[in-house]
Every structure is written in C-alpha cells, then in structure tokens.
Amino acid sequence: MKIYFFYKNNIFGIHSELSNTKLKLMKKLRFGSLLLLMICPYLINAQTTRTTHILENNWKFSKGNFENAEQVDFDDSAWETVSVPHDWAIYGPFDKEVDKQVVAISQNNEQEASEKTGRTGALPHIGDGWYRTSFQLPELAAGSRVLVVFEGAMSDPEVFVNGEKAGEWGYGYAYFNLDITDFVASGESNLLAVHLSPKPLSSRWYPGAGLFRKVRVLVLPEHHFQLWGTFVTTPFVTDSLAKINIKTKVEGQNLRLETAIKDTDGNVLATETATALFGKEFEQNIALENPKLWSPESPALYYAESKLYDESGQLQDEQTTRFGVRTISYQAGEGFKLNGEVRKFKGVCLHHDLGPLGAAVNKAALRRQIQLMKDMGANAIRSAHNMPSIEQLELCDEMGMLFLAESFDEWKRPKVKNGYNRFFDEYHEKDLVNLVRATRNHPCIVMWSSGNEVPDQHGSEGVKRAKSLQDIFHREDPTRPVTVGMDQVKAVMASGFGAIVDVPGLNYRTHLYEEAFERFPQGLLLGSETASTVSSRGIYKFPVEQAVGKMYDDGQCSSYDLEYCNWSNLPDDDAVLQDDKDWVIGEFVWTGFDYLGEPTPYDQYWPSRSSYFGICDLAGLPKDRYYWYKSRWDTDESTLHVLPHWNWEGKEGDTIPVFVYSSYSSAELFVNGKSLGVRTKSKDSKLERYRLMWNDVVYEPGELKVVAFNEKGEPAEEKIIRTAGAPHRLVLEPDRSTIQADGKDISFVTVSVVDKNGNPCPTATNQLSFEVSGAGEYRAACNGDATSLELFHKPTMKLFSGQLVVLVQSNERAGDIELSVAGKGLKRAKIKISSVE
C-alpha cells in the first residue's frame, strides 16, 4: 500500500522531515491506523494520479566549496538547518569590499571608470553554497517520471541526485526543471544536493544568493499532463458569453480529457470532453455563460479542473489551472484596452528583493507591497529586470494588479562581465520558453518584456536579436504583445529596433517622446521606466531647488522630490505626457520600493548600500512622493499631504518651503493661525500643475495647518502638523493583527515615537530593542536608512526619521504572539498579534 497526504488542497508525498524509521513504520501500518494519525497530522487519502512534494523544511546548508558534498554519505551534520526559500547573503555583514566594481556605468552616462561600492548591496552573495535534503518516493509504477522543479536558484545551479549529477542551469532567475527519473530510487529516501556559485561582477543590483524560490519534486504517471503544457485563453468575450480555449499537452495515446470549469466556490459552470489528439495536444472550446471579467477593480478568477483517462476509462492524471476571463488590445488611436475600456498603466517597477528579507520569496511581504501600491492608486507592476516569482503573480491575479513580466537585463552584449551575456547563446530560448509556459495562464500578465536597456540597441545585430526574442514570445503566446525598455532612443530610431517592437517602451527621454511617436509606426508609446527621482524618507535639504545628481555629506537625498539623476527627470515631466497625450499608454515608475544595491547617486560613497528611487523606502514606509502619486492616481478617495515636518530647531527665522500634495486643486496655508495665502494648481507651470507650493514660509515652531477647498471653493479637508517635543513613548501599528500559523506569515509592525502630547517625533533616532514571545518569532527589522549597516536579523536597530518596521513571523502553532519594543528613555511598548490555523 502507498500512503500520501492531502494538505491545504495540495497533494504531498511523505514529508522529508519525517525520519526514515517513521517512514518505514508508516508503510507497514494499515489505512486508518490510530498510530499513523498520531505520527502524521495530515489527512490520509488514497493514492492519486500524481504527487507534488514541496521541498521546504530541513534543508542542510553551508557556504564553501566542499569536496564530495553531493554524495549520499557526506557528513553534513554540522551544517546549518534552513528552510527554502532561503537567501544566505541577507544575514551579512555589510562590507564595502564585497563586489567592489571599477566601472563606467553607461546607463548613467559615465565616460570614465570609477570605484563603485554597494552597487550589489555590499552583502556576501558571492561564492559557493551547498544545499542538501532528502525526499521519500513511493514505489514507482512502470513508465512514471520524476521531475525536480526550481523556480529560481541564484545562481549557476548544479543539481545532484543520490551522488550523480542530474543537470545544471545558468540564469539565477529562470524557472527550470530536470527529469531525474534515472537517478532516483523507487520507494526509498533520495538525496538532493544543489551547488550554487554566484559570481562577482554578475549584477547591477543585489541579486541575493541561494535557493530563493520554491523547489518541488513531481511524480508523474506514465500518461500525464506535461509540466507547463496547458494554455487557457479567452478569445471571445461578451457580457453574456465567453469562449474558453484550452490547449493541453499530454504524454500518452488513446486518451480522453474531461474538463470542468468552476468558480471560486467550486460550482461547476461548464464541462467539455475531448478525445482527438493532435500530436500530443488536446484542444477544447468551452462556452461560459455570463462570465465575470477579470480587472483590477474586480479580479474574478475561474478554475479549469482537468482529468485524463485511458481507453479503459481508468483515471491517469488530473490537474487544476486557475485563469481569468478578460480581453486586452493595443491599437493606434485607442491605446491599451482592458475588457474594451481604455485605461492607462499607472505602474511601478519592482526589484525582486524584499528589503530585510532579501531575495527569499515571502508571500506576506509581497502582499504588503502590492497592497501599498494599490492603496496609492497604482494598477500595474513591472518585474524589473528579471522573471517574477510565481507567488507575486498569484497575488496580482487575486488582488487585481496588471503585470508586465520582464525577462532579461542583458542579451549578448554585456553590462557587467559575468551577467546574462554568459548564458545568452545557450539559454535564451529555453529561458523564455519556460517563462512563458510557466506563467501564461495568469490573467494579470498583459505584456511581456524581452529586455531592459540592453547595449544591443545599437546596430543591425541588435535588431535581429530583438526580432528573434519577440518571435519566441509570439510563438509561445500569441495573445500578448512584447516591449523592450529602450533608453538609447536615437539609436533605436536610426536602426529600426524601435519600429519592430510590438509596444515601444521608452526609459526616460521625455524630450524625445514626440519625435519617437512620429518616427515609430505603432502609433503609441509606453513609459516603460520613468522618473528615477531620489529621496530619503523624512530628510529635507536646503536650499530647495531642482538638482541633478546632488549629494550631501550625510549620504541622504532630499524629500522635496526635486532631485533626480542625469538620465532622468522630475515625475512632473512624465505626468504632463501621461495626462496630455492619448498615445502615451502609461508609465512604470522607477521604483515602487527602494531595493538593495544601486545606491545612486552615492555609488562611490560609503556607507551606502541601497537605492533612493523608491516611492516607499526599504522598510515599506511611504515617502512624501507616495502622496504625490496618490493625489493623481487614486480617484476613489481624497489626498492631502503636507511636507516637510515642522521640527527645525536652530532654523527659527529661516525660510522653510512648504509643499502640499493633494487631489484638491487649491488650499490655504496657516502658520500658528496666520494665513500665508491660497495656492491653486495651474497648467501654466509644470510644478504648480501638480504641487501646491509656499516657497517663502519663515519657520517658527508651533502649528502648520493646511485647509483644502473643493470645487465650490468651500473648505473640504484640513491637515495639521505640530512641532514635537522630546521623544516620550513608542507607538506600535501592525499591518495585520491576525496572521496564519504556517511558519511563514508575517505581520509588519510600524514602530514610531511620539512626544508626551502624541505628536510624532520626525527626527528621532533612538536605538530600540525587540523581543517576541508566544506563537511566533522575531524575523527582522528595517528603518529605511540607505546608509545603515545594522543587520536586519539582529533584534536591535535605530529609528530613522522617527520610524522603523519590525517583522514578526508566525510559527506552526496557533496562539498569541507578543512583540515588546524598548528604547532608552522610552516606556516599553507591547502589542499582541494572533496566529490562527
């Protein structure tokens, strides 16, 4: 008898964390044994058609190049025990010598090479790392296949099974799978070892290191659905009827396919049976009445449950594919349409790292990112500049976020010595095929990107590569267009590169939009990367002025949002084009969140190890710019935000300009009850079109108040900022007070300090300590300071601009979790979070 477990709607093989003794015992026990139930809490199910074993817990890890580490009898007892996804580098320490690069960054318009520190985060991601784990297989039936599937392994993975090399890959962001049938032992425990060797000079940002995305083993019967072989599209959609087209690749002959379309409640809405195989593919067209359309406002989802039978009627395999019903189109004169309605991309670019968690995927952190962006009014995300995680796409499907899925930052010509150029010839088609097939059923994806600012934009060879890559996308998915983030706009005009791309994407170069629109035949343009405005949360510099690449002694940037890079521009420049040009179909701002590495303009300054581009900082705390975008993008609620803070001891009598980001068109400013006049937005000035500005405010401590007026000129909303006294107590605010007891879920607790009257202290830098007890653990902390060298996983950190965020993670038992935060001279603060099953 074979034993399998059903847990949370996923079928698992016997878990690798169970001892071999227990596994042998389980095989001897009869179905329903009380002892078996005591050993394993999962529900027992009869043998199914396929099994999926997620290799998550009890991995052994060590950094270093160990001889014979792939062997079964290798002693790894002294190695660290970790869970996957895992990023070994995020635990530090920060070191300016890590991946120090002497380079002229062409994307920054640099002509001479100079020493760059912190460009890849100054964290120890370079070197050799080994992972080892065991997994138990059932007795394999004749013709069964066993696959190991990796969703990301950073980088240059070599895979060994039971001491034999089963295969290798190149690109760390790529999805790939290996058939390991010939290497495994049927009905026994098997050893999987993975060797990773991230190289120096291989990235322009923090890449992370390790098995940073999910790993799983699939056991497939002889007749089965091919991995990533199902493609669901909706070629015909009306309010009353949708045509669901399903192409399904299988292994085997004389088979019958039955598919049921279900809603999220499990109701069967339509069914279809197919018996005609064309090669190895079934095709079904299923009518769905009164479909609910997927959109950011209403992200309706459906499930295609498919069962594969042989000629005798025996069930061979089954799978469930989630999809959405929606239409997309891109047309000159119309722009981008979703479900027949024109809309513009209000998008942000996101790197793959999750701040203090590093590159290791965590669904709670991704959900928080997406929710913050949606609350700001964003409707789209670009995965810059790499293949997205499956978890990110699942959440975008569920939460309603359009997605631009990017593939590469390099093609054949290098940006960095050991970048993707090493893999391009051998791997680019395999990587694109796996990307598309693994993710094409996600309704959130509405466009592909084959590259970002590739040096290949120059010359005829680059045009050929662009066409070749685009053709691969079209072959694998004819329903979505392809873009490229182009920064060499003059070059792509001259070579024809920009003319052959489905959707021309311009990175910056706002001064060339009009010319590009006239030269390119597509009749539309996308701001594939915009703004690159830099700021540090809560930091303000004087005098207040527009500045390019400006640096200060403290390694910070001003939050007046008037500083940017020499290749970029103010966000206001992009806003004018987005608002006034119908043929500009939207933008993706660089970036939604700060990320590790690429600390422009401080890439020659130490310490500085993360970016300043984010609308939110590395901790996920909104900067002032968040409200600038919210005032334009969020049409569901009003926005009224005032900057700067009003604690300027020593600047009494000095000029402190006040800006207001608001959805209202006019407002009046008061300082200690005295009116400083009304300001009204005006199209006559680029800045005054999107900002209300009082540039001549003389600072005096007290109260700063703004009153906004509605369209009738009536007071509609007000905002008050008061000068704070000395830090007095701590305030703890969790993003969620209830989390799941799964050992992965996280509550992000914002910690702020206020004075005795409850006023936020915006300049506080108190050193705090953290303790977590109960059904959870302290995971990390982050204050958003790009110059901080404090390690995220240590239970202490300084406030930055009066705030930081503590990450509290559940364990695998339900109960209360208590976070306690203390700081010198401050009353200890506590908060409870519930962890539930």
> Which sequence positions are flagged as catalytic?
453, 529
The backbone torsions φ and ψ at residue 122, rounded to the nearest 5 degrees and listed phi first, read 55, 30
- H/E stretch holding 226: strand 224-237
Tokens of 826: 């401050």
Question: Beta-carbon neighbour count of residue 521 at 10 Å?
Answer: 9
- What is the rounded distance in angstroms from the CA atom of residue 61 to the CA atom of residue 210? 9
- What is the rounded distance in angstroms from the CA atom of residue 628 to the CA atom of residue 633? 9
Q: Could you tell me how far CA 658 lies from the centroid of its own chain?
A: 34
Q: What is the DSSP string of 708-744?
A: EE-TTS-EEEEEEEE---S--EEEEEES-SEEESSS-
- What is the rounded distance in angstroms from the CA atom of residue 586 to the CA atom of residue 99? 36
Buried b (16+ CB within 10 A) or exposed e, 14-33: bbbebeeeebeebeebeeee
Q: DSSP 3-state assignment of 78?
A: coil
The backbone torsions φ and ψ at residue 750, rounded to the nearest 5 degrees and listed phi first, read -80, 125
- What is the rounded distance in angstroms from the CA atom of residue 768 to the CA atom of residue 827? 11
- What is the rounded distance in angstroms from the CA atom of residue 352 to the CA atom of residue 387? 9
**Alpha helices, H only, 520-597:** 571-580
The beta-strand segments (E) located in 238-267 are: 241-251, 256-262
Amino acid at the residue 346: K
- What is the rounded distance in angstroms from the CA atom of residue 819 to the CA atom of residue 751? 11
Nearest to residue 44, comparing CAs of 21, 20, 57, 27?
A: 27
DSSP secondary structure letter of residue 634: -
The beta-strand segments (E) located in 263-412 are: 268-274, 281-289, 302-309, 315-323, 328-331, 335-338, 341-342, 345-350, 380-383, 402-406
- What is the rounded distance in angstroms from the CA atom of residue 341 to the CA atom of residue 517? 22
Nearest to residue 744, comparing CAs of 807, 805, 809, 806?
A: 809
- Contact status, residue 631 vs residue 662, Cβ threshold 8 Å: yes
- What is the rounded distance in angstroms from the CA atom of residue 769 to the CA atom of residue 791? 13
- Contact status, residue 559 vs residue 624, Cβ threshold 8 Å: yes
Tokens of 689: 């079109």
The beta-strand segments (E) located in 365-444 are: 380-383, 402-406
- What is the rounded distance in angstroms from the CA atom of residue 358 to the CA atom of residue 345? 28
DSSP secondary structure letter of residue 647: -
- What is the rounded distance in angstroms from the CA atom of residue 136 to the CA atom of residue 192? 11
CA contacts within 13 A on the Cβ side of 245: 8
- Contact status, residue 577 vs residue 583, Cβ threshold 8 Å: no
What SS3 string covers 799-812? Answer: CECCEEEEEEEECC
- Contact status, residue 583 vs residue 94, Cβ threshold 8 Å: no
CA contacts within 13 A on the Cβ side of 814: 3
Q: What is the DSSP string of 96-118?
A: TTTT-EEE--GGGT--S-EEE-S
- What is the rounded distance in angstroms from the CA atom of residue 155 to the CA atom of residue 87? 11
- What is the rounded distance in angstroms from the CA atom of residue 549 to the CA atom of residue 543? 15
Cis peptide before 106 (omega within 30 of 0): no
